[in-house]
Structure 1
């Protein structure tokens, strides 16, 4: 069973380095969610029932998933790999979202943006001479860029989790809960130190 990557140290510098942030999310998704079928296949041990020689006499065009993975193996996978990976990514995205909404006194481009704003206010625009003279593209603050990255990654995260939860439901037996409810139940069980079901 794959293990999620280690939780990064949460600092504003980590968040503002959007390449590092995206790399952590990509690697975490690749180790658990993108390889969910392989992870679940590793839990299924067909040899426990013994080998049936008649099974080789016919060809099946597609692998049959009618046999469910044992519930205990599925619960172990969910509690030790899937949900911790999701929680780690949620922690990182929540932290970076709080950094994006906080004041940023250390923004290295703040003085440059101030100068550009002053120049823009002093500019005289005569659209008869140059119809493009009114164009002005202000620099985005790094907190605004980080907020956009966090919004985008949260959207990706929602899609990835829904897809993974669908595969888990198909292989482990249908669960009446959606992924958000199952994750909330796992978090409650973890806080109260009772087994997750």
Structure 2
């Protein structure tokens, strides 16, 4: 991952390097989720605050929180989701292709007779490793997002969708945002 490219372009190299994949995910989390409380505390609620009524300040805060969540938080989550899904697809496709090319009736060969016989198994296990990393990072994403959404709800209690649709939390609000983004 080059230091100037953010977010990194999806590539198989990104997926097959746990260090690079985790570096991207950790950096994205550090820039968004780890500082969400500070960022929300620093949101301006508009000029001439003293002249506004509490209703006007509340409406400005709600608007500013909503814009922050959509532009910064959901956007970062979407970037991470895109990379995670891409890597999952790459590893799944590669694994499926290898399963189709390896005869199922092969008998394991003793490595003393053929030291190269394990190459296919090693490549397949690399795909399994990527799928394992992706599954693990998806679980971490859920934990990070639960924590971040809790902070959003605390700091922006009256934000539209703060509790999600029908109180379902971040998952419902994020899905609505993703659907609206595609339109």
Structure 1 position 8 matched with structure 2 position 8:
yes
* Other structure's SS at 2:42 match: helix
Larger Rg: 1
* Other structure's SS at 2:109 match: helix
Provide the aligned C-alpha RMSD in A: 2.9
Q: Which 4+ runs in 1 deviate beyond 2 A?
A: 44-50
- With a CA cutoff of 8 Å and minimum separation of 6, indicate the structure with the bigger relative contact order: 1
Deviates more, 1:173-182 or 1:33-42: 173-182
For structure 1, the 5+ residue unaligned runs are 51-66, 108-116, 123-137, 193-197
TM-score (norm 2): 0.71
Q: Do the aligned partners of 2:70 and 2:177 also contact (CA within 8 Å) in 1?
A: yes
Structure 1 position 147 matched with structure 2 position 134:
no
CA deviations 1:74-112 (Å, max 9, x no partner) are: 01101110000000000000000011112269x9xxxxx
How many residues of Structure 1 are paired with residues of Structure 2 in the alignment?
A: 147
Structure 2 partner of 1:95: 86
Q: Residues 100 and 158 from structure 1, CA distance in 2 versus in 1: closer, same or farther, beyond 3 angstroms? A: same
TM-score (norm 1): 0.66
Q: Superposed, which structure 2 residues align to 1:16-165 within 5 Å?
A: 16-44=16-44, 49=49, 70-103=61-94, 117-119=108-110, 141-165=125-149
Q: Do the aligned partners of 2:45 and 2:64 also contact (CA within 8 Å) in 1?
A: no
* Other structure's SS at 1:10 match: coil
CA shift at 1:159, angstroms?
0.3
Counterparts of 1:173 and 1:75, CA distance in 2: 11
